[in-house]
Amino acid sequence: MDKYSEFYNLLDEKTRLFKDIPKEKNIRVISHLDSDGICAASIITKALIRENRPHSVSIVSQLKENIIQELSNEKYDVFIFTDLGSGQIELIDKYLKDKTIFILDHHEINDAIIDNEKIHHINPHLFKINGSKEISGSGVVYLFAEKINDENKDLSHIPIIGAIGDNQENEGFEFLNNQILSTAIANKKINVEKGLKFFGLETKPLYKVLSNCTEPVIPGISGDDQKTIDFLESIDISPFIGNKARKFFNLTADEKEKLISALIIKRNNEENPEDILGNLYLIEGESDGMPTKDAREFSTLLNACGRLNRSSLGIGACLNNHNMKKKAIESLKDYKREIMNSINWYDRNKKDTDKIITGDNYIILKPKDQILETLIGTLTSIVSRNKKITPNTFIMSLAELEDGNMKVSIRIANCDNDTIDVNGIVKEITDFLGGESGGHKMAAGAIIDPELEDDFIAKAINIFETKYPKEIIINEIDD
Ligand SMILES: [Mn+2]
């Protein structure tokens, strides 16, 4: 039997066990804060409503030990963890003994593999299926929901939004995501079109979409509004009607074609001039020009709701609750404002050495409680993309969390050196000082005791200066 059949068999077996749970049992759902996690929560919510099963949902940014401990005090017998849990299965086993647990996740399994009559663990990694590329958390939940009730096929577009949120789309999807996509297309939930793959095509002015686009680059246009406007006029496409900027969907079919050809010609010295074209995943039934039309923008919308602690609006938007969808879309403004606040904090405090420490090859931000805690990683990433910062400078932020812990985020500015591994750095420090860490080579983070702040910074600076001295890094680039 191949790995996929084994995975589907496990889903069959676990849904049968799930259906045996008495209908009156109140179910506790815990999901992850990002867009995939919100998609996962939406699918399970709708599936439970369809089964007439009472439930309550919470969204968390990390499933930390204290959260699991608190859950053990709640009067629920059945817990469903979605898009998280596989890395905390030992803690779940420890605190939620005697409870019935379903873990529907796609993250790496760090701890021991536990699967017994109480803990039902569903994760593609159990069958050597790559959960970081082949299926998202919401995808796992969707397959589970589809087996509970065939009607849940009307949710099949949601795991596509989740998978895009988790960066699983790359000129199409891999096998399991593709199976789900086929269901979504067959059920008229998604329409896949080839088109310009620029972000914001549905909602942003066309000239802005083009000038903002640096990946892929459009020579002579990227980064320059005026040149973009001139370019559009030169091919007889008016960027404005009156003083209102046009959006891509406002163009006629002829204009769209003309634009695409002109962009490809502009890119004729690039490696793949046609790289501007890709799959667009358009949600059926959504209006043109709305952030809920294009699955990529929908995913950003959900992420914004999560970061603003308004996940319920994201769930409402996924489940097509008109009012909540409207509020979710309105939240994008607040999200932009919060991001601007955090960028302004950085600009304002560049010279304040209590708040921002600048060294030869590092910049350390200490916003304390001055920016929204869910945006610490986002701010660190934004600073790391600032072209004025020397490539391969470490950007590290330490900020206070509402729960009293301290969050550390670390990135590499304009990184062009793949020997740098920030996950390794963070792990080395937390192994030494204590705390939980995680991430990958280019982006990592930790949760530490705030009392460790100074020690953490000292140790980090020591590693930046001794392991990655500026001369070595720059010499490596020149090679
Ligand atoms: Mn996920």
Q: Indicate if the alpha-carbon torsion angle 114, 117, 122, 124 is positive or negative.
A: positive
Distance in angstroms (rounded) separating the CA atoms of residues 97 and 52: 26
Ligand 1 centre to CA of 60 (Å) is 13
Question: What single letter denotes the amino acid at residue 121?
Answer: H
Partners of 409 in the beta sheet?
397, 445
Measure the CA–CA gap between 347 and 349, rounded to whole angstroms: 6
Ligand 1 center–CA 374 separation, angstroms: 17
**Cβ burial, residue 439 (10 Å; 0-12/13-18/19+):** buried
Question: H or E segment at 392?
Answer: none
DSSP 294: B
Give 276 Cα–ligand 1 centroid separation in angstroms.
27
Given this model, what pLDDT does residue 476 score?
A: 36
- Cα(215)–Cα(231) distance, rounded to whole angstroms? 18
Q: How far is the CA of 474 from the centre of ligand 1 (A)?
A: 35
Instruction: Check residue 477 and give its pLDDT.
Output: 35
Digit-coded pLDDT (tens) for 66-106 = 899 999 999 999 999 999 999 889 899 999 988 999 999 99
- H/E segment holding residue 165: helix 158-165
- How far apart are the CA of 136 and the centre of ligand 1, in A? 5
Distance CA 262, CA 358 (A): 44
For residue 322, the CA-to-ligand 1 centroid distance in Å is: 26
CB 430 within 8 A of CB 437: yes
Cα 76 to ligand 1 centre (Å): 25
Nearest to 145 by CA among 44, 9, 6: 44
Q: What is the pLDDT of residues 232-255, one digit of tens each?
A: 999 999 999 998 999 998 999 999
CA 204 to CA 208: how far, in whole Å? Answer: 7
Q: Calculate how far, in angstroms, residue 372's C-alpha sits from the geometric centre of ligand 1.
A: 22
Quote the distance between the C-alpha of residue 336 and its chain's center.
Answer: 17
Interatomic CA distance for residues 301 and 101, integer angstroms:
30
pLDDT band at 200 (very low <50, low <70, confident <90, very high): confident
| Residue pLDDT, tens place only, 296-321 | 999 999 999 999 999 999 999 999 99
The span from the CA of 132 to the CA of 145, in Å, is 20
How buried is 388 (Cβ within 10 angstroms: 0-12 exposed, 13-18 middle, 19+ buried)? exposed
Mean pLDDT for all residues in the chain: 92
Ligand 1 is a single-atom ion; what residues have CB below 5 A from it? 36, 83, 137, 166
- Pair 445, 410: CB distance under 8 Å: yes
Q: How far is the CA of 299 from the centre of ligand 1 (A)?
A: 12
What's the gap in Å between 89 CA and the centre of ligand 1? 16
Cα–Cα dist 319/34, whole Å: 17
pLDDT reported for residue 474: 43
- Which domains does the chain possess? 3-158+176-185 (3.90.1640.30), 190-283 (no CATH), 350-478 (3.10.310.40)
- Ligand 1 centroid to 37 CA: how many Å? 6
Place of tokens 């930046």: 464
User: Measured in angstroms, how far is the CA atom of residue 393 from the centroid of ligand 1?
Assistant: 29
Q: How far is 213 from 452, CA to CA, in rounded Å?
A: 40
Distance (Å, rounded) from C-alpha 395 to C-alpha 412?
6
Q: Is the pLDDT of residue 437 over 50?
A: yes
- Portion of the chain with pLDDT greater than 90, in percent: 73
Separation CA 353–CA 470 (nearest Å)? 21
**Rounded Cα–Cα distance for residues 442 and 381 (Å):** 10
Q: What number of CA atoms fall less than 13 Å from residue 174's CA on the CB side?
A: 13
Q: How far is the CA of 31 from the centre of ligand 1 (A)?
A: 10
Distance from Cα 109 to the centre of ligand 1, integer Å: 13
Question: Are the C-beta atoms of 72 and 31 separated by less than 8 Å?
Answer: no
Distance 138 CA to ligand 1 centre (A): 7
Instruction: Say what the pLDDT of residue 112 is.
Output: 67
The pTM for the full model equals 0.85
Find the range with the poorest average confidence among 26-30, 140-144, 369-373.
369-373
- Centre of ligand 1 from the C-alpha of residue 233, in Å: 42
